[in-house]
Amino acid sequence: MKHLFVQGQSKSAPTLLLLHGTGGNERDLLPLAEIIAPQASVLAVKGNILENGMPRFFRRLAEGVFDEEDLIFRTQELHDFVTESSAQYGFDRDQVVAIGYSNGANIAASLLYHHHHSLSGAILFHAMVPIEGVTLPDIKGIPVFLGAGKRDSMITPDQTKKLAEHLSEAGALVSEYWTEGGHQLSMEEVEKAKDWFTEHYS
């Protein structure tokens, strides 16, 4: 997968897996990593799918309606890519925290829905339920931060709440942060995510 790896100063911080939104690229979330955990190593990945020229992490049939077969395939592909990258770049595969926005948050959620050990934590900005009818693995104790907008018309509050429920039922430690805003990512939630990160990982 197209990506970039940046070695961080800290040996103890988890590696950040950065996953952009629809139409983005591997550089998009670098400023967020810089704010949230400036000492951490970063693996920033570009989605392998193109939708009308816009990179994504998996195909969709319509807005909010996912091609589930492709989602499952791409989730495995990303999981394997992180594993291969950990060997290539020498980071700890068991200490990987995803930071995703929108489509990138949805595939990060899908990693949690399908893999017991893919992520040791996740910051999901504006995420929804990636797939229905899946029994989640035991993800007991994995911290997950959900940032969401009360007026997000793409990712409705119901969807984020259902995601929080699924993850909590599987044992994740879910923290929700709601802004008054819409789908756009706000500095307010990034600052909260930073506090959350500091609380859990330092």
Residue carrying the six token digits 């807005």: 63
15 or 46: CB nearest ligand MLT: 46
Q: Is 183 a catalytic residue?
A: yes
Q: Which is nearer to ligand MLT, 129 or 193 (CB)?
A: 129
Which of the stretches 4-12, 101-109, 114-122, 186-194 binds ligand MLT when contact is defined by CB under 6 A? 101-109
- The interface with ligand MLT within residues 61-100 (CB under 6 A) comprises 63-64
Residue 176, SS3? Answer: strand
Per the annotation, the verdict on 70 as an active-site residue is no
**Closest CB to ligand MLT among residues 37, 124:** 124
Write down the least CB distance from residue 141 to ligand MLT, Å. 27
Q: CA separation (Å) from 182 to 57, 154, 178, 179?
A: 22, 8, 10, 8
- Under the binding rule (CB under 6 A), the answer on residue 157 touching ligand MLT is no
DSSP symbol at 119 = -
**Interface positions, 9-68, toward ligand MLT (CB under 6 A):** 21-22, 60, 63-64
Among positions 135-154, residues that touch ligand MLT (CB under 6 A) are: 154
CA distances 155 to 5, 53, 86, 146, 197, Å, are 29, 22, 32, 12, 23
Check 120, 152, 166, 175 and give the catalytic one: 152
Please identify the residue of the shown chain whose CB is closest to the bound ligand MLT.
103
Active site residue 114: no
Contact 71, 114 (CB under 8 A): no
Please answer whether residues 138 and 168 qualify as being in contact, where contact means their C-beta atoms are separated by less than 8 angstroms: no
106 is a site residue for ligand MLT (CB under 6 A):
yes
Q: What angle is formed at CA 86 by the lines to CA 83 and CA 87, rounded to 5 degrees?
A: 95
Query: What are 27's two structure tokens?
Result: 């550089």
Please classify residue 140 by burial: count the beta carbons closer than 10 Å to its beta carbon, then call 0-12 exposed, 13-18 middle and 19+ buried: exposed
Residues interacting with ligand MLT, by CB under 6 A? 21-22, 60, 63-64, 102-103, 106, 154
Q: Which residues are catalytic?
A: 102, 152, 183
